[in-house]
A = this chain, B = another copy of it.
Amino acid sequence: MKLFSIKPVYAHCDLPCGVYDPAQARIEAESVLAMMQKYDGLDEHNKLRAVLLIEQRTELVKQHLWVLWTDYFKPEHLEKHPDLHEKFWLATKQAGECKHHMDAGVAQKLLDMIDEIAKIFWETKKN
């Protein structure tokens, strides 16, 4: 079973780097989900650490999504995907929700929202 495969990223991009990948946000969000799924089985000390680490990881999710939104997407992408702004706004708000609620459903919803953005991202790469 192959869990992950990294294919080449071609340099269709702007100055000075042009490498973007929604996987960065997703990996952090998976980490949030995993911590929430394990939360009940943790001792008090590690429960406390989970809250702290989820705070950090959700900040990273937001950070990666914001960078993608501002730096990667261009007006022509917005024309094709007019709800892109709303999708990013709601996804970063959902990351904030993960801080308030220790609930794997909330984190799963965040993952789904990132996957929707990733789908659009990879579509723009085809053209």
Contacts and interface: CB of A to CB of B under 8 A. Distances in A.
Given A15-B42, A16-B50, A27-B24, A5 B3 contact: no
Interface in A48-69: 48-53, 55, 57, 62, 66, 69
The binding surface of chain A is classed by DSSP as helix
Interface of A: 1-11, 13, 15-19, 21-24, 26-27, 30-31, 34-35, 37-38, 42, 45-46, 48-53, 55, 57, 62, 66, 69-71, 85-86, 89, 92-93, 96, 99-102, 115, 118, 122, 125-126
18 contacts: A1-B126, A2-B7, A2-B8, A3-B8, A4-B9, A4-B23, A4-B122, A5-B5, A6-B115, A9-B27, A11-B38, A16-B35, A18-B34, A18-B38, A19-B27, A21-B23, A23-B27, A66-B92
